[in-house]
Each structure stands twice: as C-alpha cells, then as structure tokens.
C-alpha cells in the first residue's frame, strides 16, 4: 500500500507512519516507519496533530473492515414510516402478483386484466425520489424477501427507470412494466429446491432453471397475452453477443423489452443478498458490467443506466478497501465504477489506484 495523508480521526492501531510526525513547533513526535499503537495515537492527540501520512497494510485494512461490518448499526432508513409503508405495499403487491400467476396458469382461457398490477407498480414508481433512493430501497426490501414475485416487481421498477431515461411514452412504459411483472412466470414450474438452492447450481440444475424462459412463453401464449409480453418472457436471457438462451440470438434479433429486462434482471439479482453471500456493492456491480457487459447487453441502454447509478452516488460517503472513509466527489465517465473520492482532503482517483476499491456505501 502506498502512503496516504489522513486525519487523526481515521488513524488506527497497526498503521505505519510514512514520514516523521512533527509537532506544530517542529518537535519529533513519532519517527518514520513506526507501527502505531493506542499509546502513540494518544500521543498524537496530546500534541494536537491534525493530519499525518501513513501506510495502511492489507492486514490492518481487512481487520478494520471486518470490525466495521460486525458493528454496523441498523440502517436508519428501515425505521422510517416511508420505508415501512413501501415495504407493506410491496408485500401486498407480491401477494397480488402470486395470485395473478396462479390465475393465468390455472385458467388460461379466461380473460385476464393486468391493469391493476400495472397501475400499482407505476404508482409506486412515482414515490421514488431518484435512482439511488430506488436502488437502496430495493436492496433493503430484498433482506426481507427474495421470492420471484419480489424480484419481478423490483425488475419492473428498475426497467421503468431505464425506460424513463430513454424517453419512452407512457403507453410503452405500461407495456414494459406488464412484461417485467410476468417475465419469470415460468419459474413457477421449476422445483423449489432448485430455484431457491442456497449455493451454486450443478450443470444439470442450471439446465433445469433455463427451461423457465420457454415455459413462461408457453404459459403466456396459451393465455393469449400480447406477443411482446410473451417474447419478453422467452428472450430476457438472450445476450447481444449470442451467448444467451434459449436461442443464442444477437442484438438485432432481441426485442427492446427483452434487452431492458436483461439489464434490470441481472442488476437486481447481483445486488440482492444471498444466503451464501452478502449483497454486492453497486460499484462492484457496475465494474462487472464494465468488464463484460458492453458485449452482452445493449450498450446504449446499459451506459445510460450505469451512469445514472454512479451519478446518484455523488457526495455519498463510502468505505474503501483500505478501511478509510471518504466522499465521492466526481464520476469518471470512462470508468464509472472508479470515481474520485475525497479522503480528508486527499483526492483519490480510483481509476488510477489499482489496489483501492469501494467496499460499502454509507
């Protein structure tokens, strides 16, 4: 790790002084290359040292990050009336969607009116302040419930955000939300022990899960849903480079709705907490999309979406992989996952700091 100037508040035991630490009058307090301990930190406070240059070793950083995770307080947003109401509404909507799936599957020849579900989702979308608020709220919701119905609603709200960035008409947004709500209906026919398996699927299990796209299409086709809704269910796992399923289609053959749902579906899945891992920081998710997503997804849709996520975190406090806390002050448009972070007056361009990453949004 290279030397960093930090405030006394961020100094912790185990850090190493990168330079001689002098008092305001020039007296040597602690020599260079000294490992700090509680007594030395107290000495720094006694001499009213405001800032110093330190080296943060990997062991110290990991230890501090582990302690921060263990002592993380309850997210205050969970206690607000606004979130509690949002959560109640979401659970009710998930129950309604589950009932709708059952109706469509058991009574495919009866006329089905999707308007109540679409209206609920669009009404909920109006309560979202901005992209960051939406993503943080959805992440909190997924701590409570991780069913396909909650996921489908989350995908609908994320897709609505993407559609808004692309200036879709109100009618187009309604159709897209409709498609999102039912894009995973085929999963109802997948064995529960595979669908909610707490760990990596075997190759055979993965092949079983992949069948949900065709199953969903067959269900919606039998129920005479609009063709664009059927095709969204069938093709939302296709990828623009031809690596998706079930048909290995490329960009020009994948409908717009399926391309949007593909992005929203993957983003929601990656940011959700699992039994075998915690939720992934949104900047890590952006990095994943940057590493391979520009080939797999519609690059114009994806860039606008990722940019809105990154920009929504401007002025957000973050915890870095070296355990320090800083504030995002600028987004790198050519490397959205690597913003510029201000740590006690030291500006770190994470696109150039190869060994420092954002590990948590605060």
Q: Scan for tokens 């949004």, then name that residue.
A: 361
pLDDT of residue 15: 94
**Confidence (pLDDT) at 143:** 59
CA 336, CA 309: separation in Å to the nearest integer? 9
Where do the domains of the chain lie?
A: 4-56, 85-280
CA distance 105 to 177: 20
DSSP three-state, residue 244: coil
CATH number of 85-280: 1.10.3210.10
CATH 3.40.50.300 fits 4-56, yes or no: no
| pLDDT tens, per residue, the chain with 362 residues | 678 999 999 999 999 999 999 988 888 999 999 999 999 999 999 998 989 999 999 999 999 888 888 777 656 566 678 888 888 898 999 999 999 999 999 999 999 999 999 999 999 988 887 777 787 788 777 655 568 899 999 999 999 999 999 989 999 999 999 999 999 999 999 999 999 888 889 999 999 999 999 999 999 999 999 999 999 999 999 999 999 999 999 999 999 999 999 999 999 988 876 655 566 788 999 999 999 889 999 999 999 999 999 998 899 999 999 999 999 999 999 999 999 999 999 999 999 998 899 998 88
Give all strands (DSSP E) within the chain, no chain letters: 4-7, 16-17, 21-22, 28-30, 51-55, 317-320, 325-330, 340-343, 346-349, 358-361
């Amino acid at each position: 790790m290279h030397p960093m100037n930090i405030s006394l508040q961020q100094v912790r035991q185990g850090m190493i002084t990168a330079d001689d630490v002098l008092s305001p009058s020039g007296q040597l307090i602690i020599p260079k290359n000294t490992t700090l301990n509680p007594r030395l930190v107290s000495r720094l406070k006694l001499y009213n040292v405001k800032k110093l240059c330190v080296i943060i070793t990997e062991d110290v950083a990991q230890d501090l990050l582990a302690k921060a995770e263990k002592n993380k307080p309850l997210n205050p947003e969970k206690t607000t009336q606004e979130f509690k109401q949002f959560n109640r509404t979401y659970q009710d909507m998930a129950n309604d969607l589950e009932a709708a799936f059952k109706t469509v599957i058991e009574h495919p020849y009866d006329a089905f009116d999707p308007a109540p579900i679409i209206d609920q989702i669009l009404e909920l979308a109006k309560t979202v302040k901005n992209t960051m608020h939406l993503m943080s709220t959805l992440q909190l919701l997924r701590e409570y419930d991780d069913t396909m119905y909650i996921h489908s609603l989350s995908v609908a709200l994320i897709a609505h955000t993407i559609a808004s960035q692309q200036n879709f008409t109100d009618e187009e947004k309604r159709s897209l939300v409709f498609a999102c709500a039912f894009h995973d209906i085929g999963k109802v026919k997948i064995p529960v022990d595979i669908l909610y398996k707490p760990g990596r699927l075997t190759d055979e299990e993965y092949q079983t899960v992949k069948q949900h796209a065709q199953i969903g299409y067959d269900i919606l086709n039998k129920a005479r849903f609009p063709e664009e809704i059927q095709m969204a269910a069938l093709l939302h796992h296709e990828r623009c480079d031809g690596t998706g399923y079930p048909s290995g289609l490329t960009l020009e053959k994948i409908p717009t709705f399926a391309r949007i749902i593909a992005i929203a579906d993957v983003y929601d899945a990656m940011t959700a907490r699992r039994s075998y891992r915690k939720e992934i920081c949104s900047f890590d998710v952006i990095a994943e999309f940057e590493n391979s997503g520009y080939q797999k997804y519609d690059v114009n849709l994806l860039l606008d979406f990722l940019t809105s996520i990154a920009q929504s975190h401007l002025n957000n406090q973050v915890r870095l992989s070296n355990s320090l806390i800083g504030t995002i002050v600028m987004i790198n448009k050519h490397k959205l996952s690597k913003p510029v972070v201000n740590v006690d007056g030291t500006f770190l361009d994470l696109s150039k700091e190869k060994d420092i990453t954002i590990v948590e949004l605060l």
